Amino acid sequence: TWQSNHLGPFLLTELLLPFVETAYGGRIVNVSSLGHTSSPALDLANIDSEEGFGTSMIAYCKSKLANVMHARELTRRLRDRGNTTVTVNSLHPGVIITEISRNMKVSILSRLVFLVDQLRMKTRKDGAQTTLYLALSKEVDGISGGYFSDCHRKEEAPLAMDDLACKQLYDYSLKAVGLA
């Protein structure tokens, strides 16, 4: 979860960043989750251990918190370098109807609950709207370091607003992917 949800996208962003910076109005969009608000603080000293991750849901929430923190810290670093045209934002796409659980062994009751929940879930097309909004809309020109849901700016978790923790995560991530 940590590698696929945070370190992989982090590395891809870092590798593409020189090209994005040369494109006026380049945009970087991190797909996070409302789950980031349920994350405990990141313990970078133990993040690579099984104990450091916790349950699969906690690991997911931690990785999504990292996506929001990455957007904030990369924004700060770009602005410190004088780049005010590239924007970096994160988003919650919503809970989307997928077949992610098709091969999972779950009880009949769980399947019924899931079917009822689908009535409140977004289609794939609806779930893509905030991503498209951040990537393409003129309404967000110049807005960077923000967190969005349903094409509106939303409040980040307090943990995501910790500038020192964002910097430490970024530095850790650079080392973890072999770029520092």
Residues designated as active site? 60
Contacts of 106 (CB under 8 A, 6+ apart): 114
In 3D, which of 52, 42, 76, 64 has the Cα closest to residue 156? 64
Token pair for residue 141? 């020109």
Spatial distance between the Cα atoms of 122 and 39, rounded to a whole number of angstroms: 23
Spatial distance between the Cα atoms of 165 and 162, rounded to a whole number of angstroms: 5
DSSP state of 180: -
Q: What angle do CA 167, 91, 96 make, to 5 degrees?
A: 140
Neighbours of 141 (CB within 10 A): 11
